[in-house]
A and B are shown apart, each in its own frame.
Chain A
Amino acid sequence: MNRCPRRCRSPLGQAARSLYQLVTGSLSPDSVDDEFELSTVCHRPEGLEQLQEQTKFTRKELQVLYRGFKNECPSGIVNEENFKQIYSQFFPQGDSSTYATFLFNAFDTNHDGSVSFEDFVAGLSVILRGTVDDRLNWAFNLYDLNKDGCITKEEMLDIMKSIYDMMGKYTYPALREEAPREHVESFFQKMDRNKDGVVTIEEFIESCQKDENIMRSMQLFDNVI
């Protein structure tokens, strides 16, 4: 019958209303009306010129990035669910949702629960066009889950587990329970200079700069776009 859900709570009012409906026989209004939410907030990014100043991308690169971004998120912002879903398409075998959450928190610099195009491009600018130190800083920020300036073993364990989760079940050799923990141990062995159980940013950067593998792999990002 008539759905006047919230307006008349009193049963008498409801009965009177039903009687009225009965008598006049009006068609019931669409119930979907109540649930018709306005389309999601449309967020416009700043102009191309400002983005060119703020990031190290060229105009063409920004255009390409924006087109891809808008294709997946026409409303102009990505929320966490969307983000996880996009990221999971690249890892069909494993479960990338935890790692995607960490990534989301790293990109969402103002912690408002959504990543706009500016956040997105700012992060990419650091990773793809920044100096090695910038990149290491960014990675440190990613690992430091509570953003307190140091990485504890628990934080590292969470990150490690999320990375191992992405491998999925069918791996060779088969994933053991202790594999992430052992990896964390070896990581701390390498990074934690003063053996105080946490890795600070200075220790991190110093240790990474000493490791040739890591430094070399940081060069990988030069040609991503």
Chain B
Amino acid sequence: MAAGVAAWLPFARAAAIGWMPVANCPMPLAPADKNKRQDELIVLNVSGRRFQTWRTTLERYPDTLLGSTEKEFFFNEDTKEYFFDRDPEVFRCVLNFYRTGKLHYPRYECISAYDDELAFYGILPEIIGDCCYEEYKDRKRENAERLMDDNDSENNQESMPSLSFRQTMWRAFENPHTSTLALVFYYVTGFFIAVSVITNVVETVPCGTVPGSKELPCGERYSVAFFCLDTACVMIFTVEYLLRLFAAPSRYRFIRSVMSIIDVVAIMPYYIGLVMTNNEDVSGAFVTLRVFRVFRIFKFSRHSQGLRILGYTLKSCASELGFLLFSLTMAIIIFATVMFYAEKGSSASKFTSIPASFWYTIVTMTTLGYGDMVPKTIAGKIFGSICSLSGVLVIALPVPVIVSNFSRIYHQNQRADKRRAQKKARLARIRVAKTGSSNAYLHSKRNGLLNEALELTGTPEEEHMGKTTSLIESQHHHLLHCLEKTTNHEFIDEQMFEQNCMESSMQNYPSTRSPSLSSHPGLTTTCCSRRSKKTTHLPNSNLPATRLRSMQELSTIHIQGSEQPSLTTSRSSLNLKADDGLRPNCKTSQITTAIISIPTPPALTPEGESRPPPASPGPNTNIPSIASNVVKVSAL
């Protein structure tokens, strides 16, 4: 149980009112608040820094915590001051807001801690002054992205119990790691993409000469083989595309997505080629279409995360790229015009028109310098050198922006992957802590019985044994205990449960002997006397049945008993009797400690055969002589 909600424990205990009228057994006694009602204010004074300010300063903003009557809830009458159990560093910023009217965001502060503090004091973050607002928004954005990332990965990993076939297929396509079949499919498609790209490339390599004709590219020499390869690849791609189309949750959106367009463009040329006949005029266009086959290489982006990051970076830097393009265009036009007019005079100049000079300008600005067009006049050379210098500048400027964007996104992805990997370990540790808390309850149950027994006897020297749990813990355990009483079932831990299940499945049905109803009163006592949990046994019944089965019979009998209204009073009186019988026998409390704290499950068969003393759940056979005393205590 987190420490923060401990303050809500009174509420949870109050909410137990819903169980009281329903419970058939009496509730256990509440733990007494032994400590005097101390003042709750823990004067640890971590936030012991004392700030002082005028009241009117605070009342400038009446819709915040400090400016309204809400702060009266935090007033400490003894010291006549308002005590807030919060971070003093952030409080400094908050108070400065009241003083100056400007809220600042300290850079070293964690964004979510700061947000929590603002929420506590009732201040809207929008009021942050311009000086610090940019920083605040940046950090907040990063945090939000990280949260979204976490949520996404969580959604990917949570096991959805009932998925339709279509949904499983879509999940398999999106995350190949979910099943081996998906992984196989993933690798097969990757392989075929590679094969297809390589064949497209090799097709054009000259492949040796057929005697009597010129050198042929491989594609024409082994055209059948290449055609078969192409067919196979296209087959696979088509099947994959159709499967994805079928499995997509929103088909319309899938069709519009970039990857599906790439898929279609990759396989279309083949089908168009099949359809078209081999006449001369169309085959030219057909050859052009084959160019589109190279787009198959983009299908690799599903397989490579780096490629996806690159694509995403380009998309997110689109405005920078656009600016780069625009400024380059401007510069090209300017310099091309200048070079054209500068070189107009010289003879045999290659600068025949301004568009022709574009080529020279581009080659020069990007510092390529092929040398197919060179200026010959002096003016041309001067302007040419200015052109190449400015080219370097114009290109170098937007590039760092793109690079930093790419690096940011790439590192974010790295961090996300690392976090996802660490998350498993973190979750495992959290799970252990959680079971630790529930085990704490089970653990203290065994010890707790003895606390209550001891408290009833009032032997002071034994009480200190029970003080290992704090008041909050004991109250929490009491709450869980009430729930157990309401439902007539007990909490046990996982291993015990599995043991019970195994035992119940091993011994299917009990023998024919059934407990006689004449033992009814005894049964009802033990129904509510579940405390000696793992050692209870049906009195007067010699069932070799499992504990489980016997408990089930017990509970059914119990319910039948309740249908006779006269028994309600008798049941409560029985409990009273048990309680009355409690006191004299609790004096022998020394011995009970040893018995109750042994959680070993009893050996069934010996108990089943031994003749149980009347109304005595036979515990471990360790201390048979005190069995009767044990009974009374366990009938708590």
Across the A-B interface, how many residue pairs have beta carbons closer than 8 Å?
253
Q: How many residues of B contact A (CB 8 A)?
A: 101
Q: Does A30 contact B (CB under 8 A)?
A: yes
| Contacting pair A39 B119 (CB below 8 A) | yes
Question: A9-56: which have CB < 8 Å to B?
Answer: 21-28, 30, 32, 35, 38-40, 42, 44-45, 47-48
B489 nearest in chain A by CB position: A171
- The stretch that binds A, out of B268-276, B314-322, B378-386, B537-545, is B314-322
Using A173-B489, A223-B30 as known contacts, say yes or no to A21 and B319 having CB atoms under 8 A apart: yes
Chain B residues within 8 Å of A21, by CB: 319, 322
Q: How far is the CA of A93 from the CA of B439 in the complex (A)?
A: 10
Using A25-B322, A39-B119, A71-B4 as known contacts, say yes or no to A211 and B572 having CB atoms under 8 A apart: yes
| Contacting pair A172 B496 (CB below 8 A) | yes
Chain A residues within 8 Å of B69, by CB: 44, 47-48
Chain A residues within 8 Å of B484, by CB: 167
Q: How far is the CA of A70 from the CA of B11 in the complex (A)?
A: 14
| Contacting pair A23 B326 (CB below 8 A) | yes
Using A214-B21, A217-B26 as known contacts, say yes or no to A86 and B559 having CB atoms under 8 A apart: no
Using A39-B124, A103-B15 as known contacts, say yes or no to A174 and B116 having CB atoms under 8 A apart: no
Q: Mark A182-225, 1 if CB is under 8 A from B, else 0.
A: 11011101110000000000001000100111101110110111
Chain A residues within 8 Å of B5, by CB: 72, 86, 89-90
| Contacting pair A174 B2 (CB below 8 A) | no
Q: How many residues of A contact B (CB 8 A)?
A: 97
Chain A residues within 8 Å of B490, by CB: 171-172
Chain A residues within 8 Å of B400, by CB: none
B13 nearest in chain A by CB position: A224
Q: How far is the CA of A90 from the CA of B16 in the complex (A)?
A: 12
**Which among A93, A167, A186 is the interface contact of B487 at CB below 8 angstroms?**
A167
Chain B residues within 8 Å of A204, by CB: 21
CB distance from B77 to the nearest CB of A (A): 8
| Contacting pair B141 A30 (CB below 8 A) | yes
Chain B residues within 8 Å of A68, by CB: 6-8
CB distance from A10 to the nearest CB of B (A): 18
Q: How far is the CA of A31 from the CA of B85 in the complex (A)?
A: 36
| Contacting pair B24 A128 (CB below 8 A) | no
**Which among A2, A42, A170 is the interface contact of B319 at CB below 8 angstroms?**
A2
Q: Mark B475-501, 1 if CB is under 8 A from A, else 0.
A: 010011011101101111110110011
Q: How far is the CA of A173 from the CA of B27 in the complex (A)?
A: 19
Q: How far is the CA of A164 from the CA of B6 in the complex (A)?
A: 23
Q: How far is the CA of A75 from the CA of B116 in the complex (A)?
A: 10
| Contacting pair B489 A67 (CB below 8 A) | no
| Contacting pair B10 A32 (CB below 8 A) | no
| Contacting pair B33 A99 (CB below 8 A) | no
| Contacting pair B22 A87 (CB below 8 A) | no
Q: Does B372 contact A (CB under 8 A)?
A: no
Question: B395-452: which have CB < 8 Å to A?
Answer: 398, 434-435, 437-438
Q: Mark B286-317, 1 if CB is under 8 A from A, else 0.
A: 00000000000000000000000000000110
B552 nearest in chain A by CB position: A173
Q: How far is the CA of A50 from the CA of B74 in the complex (A)?
A: 16
Q: How far is the CA of A183 from the CA of B562 in the complex (A)?
A: 10
Question: B310-339: which have CB < 8 Å to A?
Answer: 315-316, 318-320, 322-327
- Most chain-B Cβ atoms within 10 A of its Cβ — which of A64, A124, A214? A214
Using A22-B319, A92-B437 as known contacts, say yes or no to A166 and B18 having CB atoms under 8 A apart: no
Q: How far is the CA of A127 from the CA of B40 in the complex (A)?
A: 22
Q: Does B68 contact A (CB under 8 A)?
A: yes
| Contacting pair A189 B120 (CB below 8 A) | no
| Contacting pair B497 A174 (CB below 8 A) | yes
Chain A residues within 8 Å of B568, by CB: 190, 211
Q: How far is the CA of A159 from the CA of B6 in the complex (A)?
A: 25
CB distance from A176 to the nearest CB of B (A): 7
Q: Mark B18-42, 1 if CB is under 8 A from A, else 0.
A: 1111111111001011000000100
| Contacting pair B18 A93 (CB below 8 A) | no
Using A23-B322, A164-B487, A224-B13 as known contacts, say yes or no to A63 and B73 having CB atoms under 8 A apart: yes
Q: Mark A124-155, 1 if CB is under 8 A from B, else 0.
A: 10011000000110111011000000000000
Q: Mark B509-548, 1 if CB is under 8 A from A, else 0.
A: 0000000000000000000000001100000000000011
Chain A residues within 8 Å of B126, by CB: 38
B15 nearest in chain A by CB position: A103
Q: Does B246 contact A (CB under 8 A)?
A: no
| Contacting pair B4 A72 (CB below 8 A) | yes
Q: How far is the CA of A136 from the CA of B398 in the complex (A)?
A: 74
| Contacting pair A86 B8 (CB below 8 A) | yes
**Which among B323, B476, B496 is the interface contact of A25 at CB below 8 angstroms?**
B323
| Contacting pair B562 A172 (CB below 8 A) | no
Using A39-B118, A159-B22, A217-B27 as known contacts, say yes or no to A87 and B551 having CB atoms under 8 A apart: no
Q: How far is the CA of A186 from the CA of B568 in the complex (A)?
A: 11
CB distance from A174 to the nearest CB of B (A): 6
**Which among B7, B122, B562 is the interface contact of A186 at CB below 8 angstroms?**
B562
Q: Does B1 contact A (CB under 8 A)?
A: yes
Q: How far is the CA of A60 from the CA of B124 in the complex (A)?
A: 29
CB distance from A210 to the nearest CB of B (A): 8
Chain A residues within 8 Å of B533, by CB: 172
- Most chain-B Cβ atoms within 10 A of its Cβ — which of A25, A74, A102, A223? A25
CB distance from B10 to the nearest CB of A (A): 5
Using A32-B141, A211-B568 as known contacts, say yes or no to A174 and B548 having CB atoms under 8 A apart: yes
Q: How far is the CA of A74 from the CA of B84 in the complex (A)?
A: 13
| Contacting pair B24 A173 (CB below 8 A) | no
CB distance from B582 to the nearest CB of A (A): 16
19 pairs, CB–CB < 8 Å, chain A vs chain B:
A25-B323, A28-B316, A45-B73, A63-B75, A67-B7, A67-B73, A67-B74, A90-B5, A120-B11, A140-B21, A167-B491, A169-B497, A172-B490, A173-B551, A179-B555, A186-B562, A189-B563, A211-B568, A223-B32
Apart from A23-B323, A93-B438, A173-B551, what are 19 other A-B pairs with CB-CB below 8 Å? A25-B320, A25-B324, A28-B319, A39-B118, A42-B119, A64-B40, A70-B120, A89-B1, A106-B18, A127-B14, A163-B483, A182-B559, A211-B572, A213-B27, A213-B575, A218-B17, A220-B16, A220-B482, A224-B13
Q: Which 7 residue pairs are nearest across A and B when measured between Cβ atoms?
A: A68-B7, A25-B323, A22-B322, A173-B551, A217-B27, A170-B497, A127-B14
